[in-house]
Structure 1
Amino acid sequence: WVIEDDYDGEFHWRGQEIAAMQAQAAAGEALYLGTAAKALMPGLRLGWMVLPEGLVEPMRQAQRNLGLGANIHAQAALADLMRGGEYRAHLRRMARVNGERGEALVAALRARLGDEVTAELPDGGLQLALLFPGAAREAAAQRALQAAGFAPSRLSGFGLAHRPTGLVTGFADATPERIARFADVLAAALAAPPQGAP
């Protein structure tokens, strides 16, 4: 089986949505996982799996044995929202809002840093890759942003053979003030002389 965790797939704001592998695979080849954590709130602990018929009962039993049940009232409420179309409408609203936040972040980075940083907003998702040269600059920028309360990841940590340098940052909670602060801290970190990568 292919296990497909459609991470951020519900947040698509432009271009054609990419269909889930589960919808394209031959019957029973892909297991599809989803969650309401990003669209609603992580504390609800609600997720779902789309499974071949033969795996439904074994997965029910495994879930029971693990004792990781979610609140049945929250499950019923989410199921009602899904059946009535309200959940999909909420996802469309959130995708629009998050797209606007991502566009604001890219605009602020371009205004503050020009072409020193390459930042292209993807068609969906909640994260942005920022590319700039130099492992030492990548490390310094990450440290400076972490000290300012942000939580970027080093882009070089995501590659195997080709390891571009830069940062990956989320923007789902971006306010105009946080966007401006992020751009200012990143600009200062990139302007400082490199100290050497750890």
Structure 2
Amino acid sequence: MFEYVVMINREVSTPLSSQIYQQYRDAILKRRVPEGERLPSSRQLATSLSVSRNTVNTAYDLLRSEGLVDVRSGARPEVVALPEVEGAVVAGPVRETTPPLSSRGKRFSCNHRYTSPSGRGVSMQPGEPSRELFPKEQWARSLRRAARLLNGNALGYEHTSGLPELQRVLAQYLAQERGVICSPEQVLAFPTTQSALSLMSQCFSEEGDVALLEEPGYLGARSAFYAAGLKVQALTEIDQVSRASLIYVTPSHQYPTGRRMEMSERLMLLKQAHDKGAVILEDDYDSEFLFEGRPIAALQGLGDRHSVIYIGTSAKSLMPGIRLAYAVVPKEHVVGLELAQRASGALANVHVQMAFADFIESGHFRAHLNKIRSAYHENGVALCQLVGERFGNQVGVSMPTGGLQTCLYLPETCDDVAVADLMNQKGFGVNPLSVFYLGAPQKGLVVGFAEANEKLRSGFVQALEQAMELSGDRVQA
């Protein structure tokens, strides 16, 4: 008589019934227990394993529900005949590796961002807002209020592209603060700017099309374009292409240089986009952190709104972990993009959406922006002044006019990737400027200053001096 021995382990958290079921299931599928074989009765197996009969019966019920055994009253379970499927795991050898990623999967999984070999430093990362200045109490109140106000429809699948409350509030806020012209239904809520960029790249281009990117330019946009199978070229080459599907820009506070696109340039870009048949993706997140004056109106509100998609986020004004961004899309594409968004699963948390709407309407958002704008300005200026005092002309300083980061320009002979690697080893999560270029790069570092207090600033300058010396660029006192 054939007998398959089941072993149980009482030291693990897996229920005993599941252990019995899994072992028999594996043995039957791999033909170690042949068809027609009868398993022990529940009483026999329970006695041999020192478990209850209910435990054994639960395991046998699971096997029967999967069609692996036939259980009849008064008889022991019998292993049923399984079909022979050529190449199937149950009939053939077990794969040593999973199938490879598709070409699309490889594009999506390719890392276009800078990665330090020793791991990313925590302090002074570009684009990282201050954790200390996050308005915990006010945000908590808005979350509690959101939990009370949300009803059954909002908690279901009624508003997958955005809660009407948030769409209404954002449409009004963007009109007042950024000159964006839209109706509430044109505002789509996303979990991140990256998810919005990815969806727009897929929906407004064909594989092999040209996408134009600022030089230097945001690596997240480059990743989205490559994942969509696009040919990415520098925006400076726009006159050399006959047609482009997408143009990505950060006109209010260029990332990473901080430069602001003047009105004449904005109007020229709108004309060029029209001539090339391109959709402009306007990433406007840093417009909220300009330290002097008011920002120029968004591109979306300046001209042909059919060719501009406006993208904003709470990742910099609040925290990346909030996971809320938004896009203002052309009216004629609202329905199609809503369906595409749902199909992609790029849906934002409804509690966060409601809380953000409340946070804006209550006035907490404007108060918070005023507070952090002042703090960021002070930290950024102090950092640049300290770098200028220590390094003189050896390190070029771009005095910040807004945002969360600035560029420090290193000598052309300097290996800025090596310097960035050393800085990250010392805990400073800076990026090398050269990786943001598609063509001939400029050497430098992209440095965040939102949390750059006096102690961090001092440590940063010392670390930079050491990193430049170790990389071969001697620092003159």
TM beyond 0.5:
yes
Q: CA separation in 1, counterparts of 2:437 and 2:396? A: 17
Aligned to 1:64: 342
Aligned to 2:355: 77
Q: CA separation in 1, counterparts of 2:471 and 2:435? A: 22
Structure 1 letter corresponding to 2:312: G
**2:326 counterpart SS class:** strand
* 1:2, distance to aligned residue in structure 2 (A): 1.1
Q: CA separation in 2, counterparts of 1:41 and 1:156? A: 27
8 Å CA contact 1:152, 1:170 repeated in 2:
yes
Structure 2 letter corresponding to 1:59: L
8 Å CA contact 2:419, 2:471 repeated in 1:
no
Question: As a proportion of its length, which structure holds more helix?
Answer: 1
Q: CA separation in 2, counterparts of 1:82 and 1:55? A: 27
In structure 2, the gaps of 5 or more residues are: 1-278
Question: Which of 414, 425, 429 lines up with 1:151 in the alignment?
Answer: 429
Q: CA separation in 1, counterparts of 2:419 and 2:354? A: 45
Q: CA separation in 1, counterparts of 2:337 and 2:381? A: 40
Structure 1 letter corresponding to 2:435: G
8 Å CA contact 1:127, 1:171 repeated in 2:
yes
* 1:6, distance to aligned residue in structure 2 (A): 1.4
**2:340 counterpart SS class:** helix
8 Å CA contact 1:155, 1:166 repeated in 2:
yes
User: Are 2:408 and 1:127 equivalent residues in the alignment?
Assistant: no
Higher mean C-alpha deviation, range 127-136 or range 180-189 = 127-136
8 Å CA contact 2:414, 2:471 repeated in 1:
no
Aligned to 1:42: 320
Question: Which of 276, 293, 297 lines up with 1:19 in the alignment?
Answer: 297
Structure 2 letter corresponding to 1:112: R
Q: CA separation in 1, counterparts of 2:370 and 2:295? A: 12
Q: CA separation in 2, counterparts of 1:90 and 1:52? A: 30
Q: CA separation in 2, counterparts of 1:71 and 1:157? A: 33
Aligned to 1:178: 456
Q: CA separation in 2, counterparts of 1:64 and 1:159? A: 34
* 1:61, distance to aligned residue in structure 2 (A): 2.1
8 Å CA contact 1:137, 1:189 repeated in 2:
no
**1:34 counterpart SS class:** strand
8 Å CA contact 2:418, 2:471 repeated in 1:
no
**2:297 counterpart SS class:** coil
* 1:85, distance to aligned residue in structure 2 (A): 3.5
Q: CA separation in 2, counterparts of 1:65 and 1:124? A: 37
> How big is each residue's C-alpha offset from its partner over 1:66-125, in whole Å with a ceiling of 9 and x where there is no partner?
223222121111112223443233222222211111112112212322232111223111
Aligned to 2:67: none
Higher mean C-alpha deviation, range 14-23 or range 116-125 = 14-23
Aligned to 2:57: none
**1:10 counterpart SS class:** helix
* 1:60, distance to aligned residue in structure 2 (A): 2.2
Q: CA separation in 2, counterparts of 1:135 and 1:157? A: 16
* 1:193, distance to aligned residue in structure 2 (A): 6.4
* 1:180, distance to aligned residue in structure 2 (A): 0.9
* 1:192, distance to aligned residue in structure 2 (A): 4.3
Q: CA separation in 2, counterparts of 1:72 and 1:18? A: 31
TM-score, length of structure 1 as denominator length: 0.87
Q: CA separation in 2, counterparts of 1:56 and 1:68? A: 15
Question: Which of 360, 383, 408 lines up with 1:105 in the alignment?
Answer: 383
8 Å CA contact 1:140, 1:194 repeated in 2:
no
Task: Sort the Cα spacing of 1:175 and 1:159 in 2 relative to 1 into closer, same or farther, 3 A.
Answer: same
Structural mapping, 1:183-198, within 5 Å: 183-192=461-470, 194=472
Aligned to 2:162: none
8 Å CA contact 1:81, 1:87 repeated in 2:
yes
Pair member with larger Rg = 2
* 1:16, distance to aligned residue in structure 2 (A): 4.0
Task: Sort the Cα spacing of 1:59 and 1:89 in 2 relative to 1 into closer, same or farther, 3 A.
Answer: farther
8 Å CA contact 1:15, 1:123 repeated in 2:
no
Aligned to 2:310: 32
Aligned to 2:284: 6
**1:8 counterpart SS class:** helix
In structure 1, the gaps of 5 or more residues are: none
Task: Sort the Cα spacing of 1:68 and 1:194 in 2 relative to 1 into closer, same or farther, 3 A.
Answer: same
User: Are 2:444 and 1:166 equivalent residues in the alignment?
Assistant: yes
8 Å CA contact 2:377, 2:400 repeated in 1:
no
Structure 2 letter corresponding to 1:173: E
Structure 2 letter corresponding to 1:164: Q
Percentage identity across aligned positions? 37
